[in-house]
Structure 1
């Protein structure tokens, strides 16, 4: 049920210069979801009455993602006055006048913080009667974080930002995680008193804590169980660390649900993926987007699937596939490339060094070797010979090739679309098919072989080939003598 006394503010206005990227920091992804998407998903689980996102840098791009992940979020633009305090101050103006509950403030660049931790924070804040409660942590490296300064009896006294901290304060290990719960009235009153008199010239939200303490109010700092829960992402190194930690949690979750992951360190699974029990993932495998894999399927090694569907018992080996459907008991790879809109039905095969695109390969049909199959329909039980190419593009338009059921095509065929190969038809090796082949017919290109006697000696005199040919004689019977002649240079 909706918590009518809770509002959530998501801070999403920062530029993120340390990312050194043309992409806004909050739009960088881990596990297939933008950083801000993780935070909004967590916020959504708390069922707050209001969620307000504060934006500024690359405003339109960020807002688009916010609305994709949390359509009901209110959006507020931060003005020219910098700082988290100013961002929260402006967010409060979006709340209805009759709202008098608690305000939870979270950062858009802290993707691993879970809803249970936030729910406990809100619950503890309400039970304690404190005017403000925040999360703290003790990471191995506190660089960049505000330090928690406590009184002699262990109570929270104030928060000092890194650039304003003394040497003794910088030595403190406990840091501010940037997650707060405030009573609305107290927050409004104290924000009005916060100034920009600091090294950054910003209006700090953390100054509210000091003001509340000087006013005699109780303020609490609650340490999290694991510091990685509140780890922020400010650069590419921290992005990869957060991605690795989240992936480890995702992989372990699937293992506990019956999925075999042979090498968790080299296996990556996006949050939206779905895996059934008894799936096996081999090393070097990436399961990306909304990929779903049915029971008994084996994927990998060295395979990337993006938004794919894999049926029961299928085997997908050393393959790159996107927006493709692989049917039950089908076989794909090794070294196959499935481009979007490839559909391989049950018991079918897409084999070694085969590329497919916008094609449907029917049940039990096979494209085993060295082929390109684009814009093509293949019926059931057909075999497409090695080295086959569907020439689907005439320089202006794409055309389709239709291969019927129980067709056998020869090696090194070219099907010049649009063309249809009828059911039960055969095509000879090396055939270029430019016209439809009726059902049950054999299509061949008639070009008798012509042997030009003496051509090598006439056109390549003195070469090893010419020497071998002369020693072998016209019928090639002197093979051993030819080999000796070449070796002796005669």
Structure 2
């Protein structure tokens, strides 16, 4: 059977107090709307239409999903009106449509699958996703009949004494038969205090025509809508716990999950140990048997097998197997570090390749460089890549030794098996097998301290 989905994402979200459309606020590093779209798509529903309103162009720009179509809700006149704005998307379609909220980032793939499956298997005209809550104050109640079928949804303010005791609430997530939904949308009106069109009125219309309506119960936390910064933090905590639990179940050790922040698209190999106060972001991939010590931040980077990282920042870079990084290293974007390399304390590397087995142990800057294998950099080396106008490249061959406090002024090429004397400033090519010394000859001036009156 054909399945598609609508995602309501037109609201600005006044309570979140932001210039950014509400659905673009991030939970565990990903926009709330993206979480919803990804969950829908993972449930094998690819035909998705997002109903947008305020900040429509920004939503399209941030979502960057060419498979998603969009419908515009220029005025926010209720959930029923939002779905009406997608009638062109639904036109001529037969099958089932799921309706989701763009501010419910905690909805799971398995729940979406269950909602669609039960709707289809029970041949419902509509199926509501509901949840059992201890305190349903403020939520619409699901009123069921003797045979457990859904009779109606009653808003909290309209509940009688018996209905107030019901603790099954409406999540505002639904499945509908497309043709029946389209027909019912033509019959709803805005004759209410708010002057809005409500999607819940569709349920009433279907029931009045003796159509079957069902409800699927899920965990309440999956249905939580984010309407404020407080709720945004609550959703972040719930999803972070889910992510951390998933990694631990897959064989990753988290010393303290409460202080470990892992975004939703991060991949980690088994037997990797992650210490407290680490932040792993974006599309980061970490191999097996790694040690990520405390206070590191890794973003959109690929970390090989058996890598040790201590208190360092790694951005948009690749780190090879059996390499150590840090403490206090800064690996900037477009850097590739080979296998069995050593990047030590207070080292900064930017847009460079570092060969296998090369050691850059401390207090060194390498930018816009191509460094070979088995090289050694002394303390305080600087690749001088910027001339005030352009960034230039330095090439260093295999098995080269760069002494302490050397400056390599780009563009310059240093061939294999060369030595650079400590304190040198290199501006010209160094050929294979050469020692380059570029410093003034030492001169000691006798009696100078006494003559200057500096003797103590």
TM-score normalised by structure 2 residue count: 0.90
Hey, what does 1:477 align to over in structure 2? Answer: none
2:187 is matched with which residue?
193
Bigger shift: residues 145-154 or 309-318:
145-154
Distance 1:258 1:8, change over 3 A: same
Instruction: Map 1:349-360; keep pairs closer than 5 Å.
Output: 349-360=342-353
Q: Are the equivalent residues in 2 in contact too, given 1:354–1:371 (CA < 8 A)?
A: yes
Matched, 1:95 2:96: no
Residue 262 of structure 1 and its aligned partner are, at CA, apart by: 1.8
Alignment of 1:3-402 (within 5 A): 3-4=1-2, 6-48=3-45, 50-66=47-63, 68-69=64-65, 71-80=66-75, 82-97=77-92, 99-139=93-133, 142=136, 146-148=139-141, 150=143, 156-161=150-155, 164=157, 173-224=167-218, 226-402=219-395
- Pair 390,167 (structure 1): closer, same or farther in 2 beyond 3 Å: farther
Q: How does 1:445-456 map to 2 (within 5 A)?
A: 445-451=439-445, 453=447, 455=449
1:147–1:173: 8 Å Cα contact kept in structure 2?
no
SS at match of 2:199: coil
Distance 1:323 1:335 in 2: 17
Deviates more, 1:322-331 or 1:214-223: 214-223
CA distance in 2 between counterparts of 1:287 and 1:157 reads 47
Aligned-partner Cα distance in 1 for 2:158–2:402:
76
User: Cα gap change, 1:134/1:259 in structure 2, threshold over 3 Å: closer, same or farther?
Assistant: same
Please state how far the C-alpha of 1:148 moved relative to its aligned partner. Answer: 0.7
Give the superposition deviation at 1:173.
4.2
CA contact (8 A) 1:12 1:108 kept: yes
> Displacement, 1:100?
3.3
- Cα separation, partners in 2 of 1:267 and 1:141, compared to 1, 3 Å: farther
d(CA) in 1 for partners of 2:411, 2:86: 60
CA 344–79 in structure 1, closer or farther in 2 if over 3 Å, else same? closer
SS at match of 1:354: strand
**3-state SS of 1:350 partner:** strand
Cα deviation digits, residues 312-367 of structure 1 (max 9, x gap): 21211111011111111111100000001111111111110010001111111111
Deviation per CA, 1:440-466: give whole Å up to 9, x if none: 214140242434636368455xxxxx5
Find the aligned partners of 1:141 and 1:387 in 2 and give their Cα distance: 63
For structure 2, the 5+ residue unaligned runs are: none
Partners of 2:101 and 2:128 in 1: how far apart? 13
Structure 1 or 2, whichever has the larger Rg, is: 1
Tell me, in whole angstroms, the C-alpha distance in 2 between the residues paired with 1:141 and 1:432: 73
* Residues 90 and 178 in structure 2, CA contact (< 8 A), matched pair in contact too: no
Q: Distance in 2 between matches of 1:367 and 1:131?
A: 67
Deviations 1:236-289 (A, max 9, x none): 222222222222222222222222222212222233222222222222222222
Aligned residues: 453
Unpaired runs of 5+ residues, structure 1, are 461-465, 470-490
- Report deviation, 1:165: 5.1
Match of 1:60, SS state, is helix
Specify the SS of the correspondent of 2:85. Answer: helix
Note if contact 1:146-1:159 (Cα within 8 Å) is conserved in structure 2.
no
Once the two structures are TM-superposed, the CA of residue 142 in structure 1 deviates from its matched residue by: 4.9
Aligned residues: CA RMSD: 2.7
Q: TM-score, normalised by structure 1?
A: 0.84
Q: Secondary structure, in 3 states, of the residue corresponding to 1:241?
A: helix
